[in-house]
Amino acid sequence: MGLARDVTEEVLDVVDARDHVIGTATRPTVHQENYRHRAVHILVFDRGRRIYLQKRSMTKDNSPGLWDTSAAGHVDSGENYRAAANRELAEELGLPLDSDLDELFKLEAKPATGLEFVVVYRHHTALEPIPDPVEITEGRWVDSDTLNRWLGEHPNEFTETFREIWSIYASLHCAS
């Protein structure tokens, strides 16, 4: 696929503590200066109610080699959260939007999220993801029980953001 973009060229909105845009900066500057910014995470489920997990490429600047949500990424400057989620599904997993995205919840920008406001979506698909090898080392479908055991036994194999997202998701009894 090779759809990954040059991250040094990405321009992101810089936001205040209430998620209002106050400026723009390149992705490297946003991270170096610890500016608040926006991101999306998508939990993709199949008809068997299994979640698709991605193992982040070793070339990633944050959490390389760790398991994460199905797809995730920054919200580009001028883009809204939903558009970013649709773009990330296509870029990272080769998935066209074949059903509506369900907006689940929003995480506040804090050190644990890399100062990102994160909107989390759920997507159901009958299609098999085609992971972008630049972004993703490995992908796999996992049922909730297996995932919960894996998280309990090896939490450090997952990104901090994923652990928080899955904890909230499970507590909301949304595992469908």
- Model confidence over 22-76: pLDDT tens digits? 999 999 999 999 999 999 999 999 999 999 999 999 988 788 899 999 999 999 9
CB 54 within 8 A of CB 136: yes
- Return the structure tokens found at 139: 């992908």
- Return the structure tokens found at 164: 């928080």
Neighbouring CB atoms inside 10 A of 113's CB total 19
For range 148-153, the mean pLDDT: 96
How many whole angstroms separate alpha carbon 144 and alpha carbon 9?
37
**Has residue 165 got a pLDDT over 80?**
yes
**Has residue 94 got a pLDDT over 50?**
yes
pLDDT at residue 3 in the model: 46
CB 72 within 8 A of CB 62: no
pLDDT at residue 98 in the model: 64
Alpha-carbon distances, residue 149 vs 104, 154, 170 (angstroms): 23, 8, 13
pLDDT at residue 2 in the model: 42
Query: If you average pLDDT over every residue of the chain, what do you get?
Result: 91
Q: Which residue has the higher pLDDT, 131 or 99?
A: 131
Closest to 102 in 3D by CA, of 119, 79, 114: 119
Does pTM top 0.85 for this prediction? Answer: yes
pLDDT at residue 59 in the model: 87
CATH number of 7-171: 3.90.79.10
